[in-house]
Chains A and B, each alone.
Chain A
Amino acid sequence: MDRRDLAWHVDRVARILVFVGGISAIIFIVGIFVFVTKEGLDFVFGSLDLGEFFTSIAWRPTSNNPTYGALALMVGTASVTGFAMLFSVPLSLGAALYIGEFATGKTREVLKVLVEMLAAIPSVVWGFVGMSIMNPLIIRVFDVPLGLGVLNAGLILGLMAAPIMTTIAEDALKAVPDTYREAAEALGATRWEVILKVVIPASKNGLLAAVLLGVGRGFGETMAVLMASGHAINLPTSPFDSVRALTATIAAELGETVNGSDHWGALFTLGIFLFLVTFIINLTADLVVRGIRKK
């Protein structure tokens, strides 16, 4: 009875399909990297002045004598992301702890659904909230002339990143077996002591992953930042200053550049830079996580 029956063929086809699916993700990522690099590389090795790129704030791609200083854009992205993380990391971890460790029954289910719904709000809606609600609010509360800036974009970005961080962090907490909690409580630890001494140490890799995912979200977010940051090239000295983000610059300018021009190349160089930074963040995270595991 050595016949290749239906199940054998289904198995073969399924293997091939899964293989194609798996390998295509890798091909796409490599493809994107190759494409972005190819478009930017001519410029990087041609007219780019690396010193100027990293130290000058003069981003004047359309002037008669164009300069491509990206410092202000980098600082813009970093300040907005940093500000966002400053308040959304504690917020998300707190929410995750409440949902995962304290809430029970219906409360828990409702909160989980709500948080997941928040994650599904399109970024342009967040941008709209930033422009039409946060902007007048910041002007009124802090008595400043303009409410579009680091504070506004940071708040919006933080709110956007919080649901994802909360969900991932909660998953990480849930992955800690209940037997740990029971064993620790049987030793006389209070709920809070259990969380602090057992649950958080046991889930720190997952919690770190959650935070890094939030940072990645902050770096990559475009539309909401474009709308809420004021989009002005500027080195911020206060939270109310307008800034411009790397991503927003690419989104706003790419449509108006000549294909293959220096400006085009410069925007792709920003893309390469973003790609490298995210890559380094992920790599660091991976190494940190591995380091923890080894110990």
Chain B
Amino acid sequence: MVGPAAAAGTEGTAGPRYDESPIVQVRDLSVFYSRTPALSGVNLDVYRHEIFGIIGPANSGKTSFLRALNRMDAFNPAMDVQGSVRINGKDINDWRNEYALRSRIGVVFPLPVGLPLTVYENVAFSPRLRGIRQKEKLDEVVERCLTRAALWDEVKDRLDSLGSLLSGGQQQRLTIARALAQEPELLLLDEFSIAVDPVTTMRIEDVLRELRTELTIVLVTNLVQQARRLADRTAFFLMGDLVEIGETEDLFEGKVKDERTTGYIEGRYG
């Protein structure tokens, strides 16, 4: 459904679907690292086709929250996740095949991780996992995803060179293209602009705005203004607590319920 035709029509259906059932439902989510709490009792919903921003200072539990969503706790034996996360109504722990769950959720890490493969193979990685073998089909996916990630023009002549030879900003767009090749319903971004120059950051933000028509984005960011630019709704995390959630504009215009939120947004602490 995310063919070139769908990609062309970027306006019209944009915007969150608050009337439909949420794509992500989080209830009483707590995360501990060796018994030390990193996130305590978070409840929130993410709706389809919204960009859901999460802001908060370091150690506020933002990344732990993201990692819990696609069961990445499996990588870290010390990480303990409690509570429930439902994606499309199904509890993520009911997936007996966690790989199939992860294959439907795209993740972009803070520092770009170019797999030690060529540009082409990086993007073709997950289509190949899904069993796509035909060269034409892969070519099409690679071109479409690189184009969507605003990288195609820069790399179309060097698809066979190593992904790790690209610049930092290009690599981050490569990881976005790679995540898009999963054809995910949900895209998780964890402080993607940390290692990216401002110009590239703006380009990626444009990309994300367009992608909202096709999928749902959870955007963890350390840049308060980035949340303001992108997010439909924003959640503020502080020291493992979800302090408040609101329409992004409301939060930034001072319609907050909690003093701490204003303090963070206005930069009184960071």
Most buried by B among A105, A188, A193, A197: A188
Inter-subunit contact B104/A179 (CB<8 Å): no
Inter-subunit contact B102/A188 (CB<8 Å): yes
Inter-subunit contact A186/B99 (CB<8 Å): no
Residue A261 lies at the interface, judged by CB distance under 8 Å to chain B: no
Inter-subunit contact B109/A182 (CB<8 Å): yes
Interface residues of B in 109-157 (CB under 8 A from A): 109, 111, 113, 115-117, 125-126, 129
Contacts of B74 in A (CB 8 A): 185
Interface residues of B in 59-83 (CB under 8 A from A): 70, 72, 74-75, 77
Map CB proximity to B onto A182-210 as digits: 1 under 8 Å, 0 otherwise. 11111111100100011001100000000
Residue A33 lies at the interface, judged by CB distance under 8 Å to chain B: no
Inter-subunit contact A185/B75 (CB<8 Å): yes
Inter-subunit contact A184/B115 (CB<8 Å): yes
Known interface pairs A193-B129, A198-B116; A187-B102 also in contact (CB < 8 Å): yes
Q: How far is the CA of A190 from the CA of B175 in the complex (A)?
A: 19
Map CB proximity to B onto A260-272 as digits: 1 under 8 Å, 0 otherwise. 0000000000000
Q: How far is the CA of A274 from the CA of B75 in the complex (A)?
A: 47
Q: How far is the CA of A201 from the CA of B99 in the complex (A)?
A: 21
Residue B8 lies at the interface, judged by CB distance under 8 Å to chain A: no
Most buried by B among A182, A185, A186, A202: A186
Known interface pairs A187-B102, A187-B182, A188-B99; A180-B129 also in contact (CB < 8 Å): no
- Give min CB distance, B123 to chain A, whole Å: 10
User: Interface residues of A: mostly helix, strand, loop or mixed?
Assistant: helix
Residue B103 lies at the interface, judged by CB distance under 8 Å to chain A: yes
Q: How far is the CA of A184 from the CA of B99 in the complex (A)?
A: 10
In the complex, which residue of chain A has the Cβ closest to the Cβ of B178?
Answer: A187
Contacts of A179 in B (CB 8 A): 109, 111, 113
Contacts of A201 in B (CB 8 A): 116-117
Residue B199 lies at the interface, judged by CB distance under 8 Å to chain A: no
Contacts of B75 in A (CB 8 A): 178, 181-182, 185
Q: Which of B103, B111, B175 contacts A188 (CB 8 A)?
A: B103
Residue A104 lies at the interface, judged by CB distance under 8 Å to chain B: yes
**Interface size grouping (class) on chain A:** 20 to 34
In the complex, which residue of chain A has the Cβ closest to the Cβ of B103?
Answer: A188
Q: Which of B70, B77, B116, B117 contacts A186 (CB 8 A)?
A: B70
Known interface pairs A179-B113, A189-B99, A202-B116; A184-B77 also in contact (CB < 8 Å): no
Inter-subunit contact A187/B77 (CB<8 Å): no
Contacts of A202 in B (CB 8 A): 116
Contacts of A180 in B (CB 8 A): 113, 115-116
In the complex, which residue of chain B has the Cβ closest to the Cβ of A182?
Answer: B75
Q: Which of A104, A178, A186, A197 contacts B102 (CB 8 A)?
A: A186
- Give min CB distance, B137 to chain A, whole Å: 18
Contacts of A187 in B (CB 8 A): 102-103, 125-126, 129, 178-179, 182
Contacts of B126 in A (CB 8 A): 187-189
Residue B107 lies at the interface, judged by CB distance under 8 Å to chain A: yes
Contacts of B178 in A (CB 8 A): 187
- Give min CB distance, B119 to chain A, whole Å: 14
Q: How far is the CA of A187 from the CA of B256 in the complex (A)?
A: 37
Q: How far is the CA of A193 from the CA of B179 in the complex (A)?
A: 17
Residue B100 lies at the interface, judged by CB distance under 8 Å to chain A: yes
State the 4 A-B residue pairs at the shortest beta-carbon distance, nearest first. Answer: A188-B103, A183-B113, A186-B107, A202-B116
- 15 of the cross-chain contacts (CB-CB < 8 Å) are A179-B109, A181-B75, A182-B75, A183-B107, A183-B109, A184-B115, A185-B75, A186-B105, A186-B109, A187-B126, A187-B179, A188-B100, A188-B182, A189-B129, A193-B129
* Additional 18 contacts, C-beta under 8 A, given A185-B72, A188-B102: A104-B77, A180-B113, A180-B116, A182-B75, A183-B107, A183-B113, A184-B115, A185-B102, A186-B70, A186-B109, A187-B102, A187-B125, A187-B126, A188-B100, A188-B104, A188-B129, A193-B129, A198-B116
A positions within 8 Å CB-CB of B: 104-105, 178-190, 193, 197-198, 201-202
B positions within 8 Å CB-CB of A: 70, 72, 74-75, 77, 99-100, 102-105, 107, 109, 111, 113, 115-117, 125-126, 129, 175, 178-179, 182
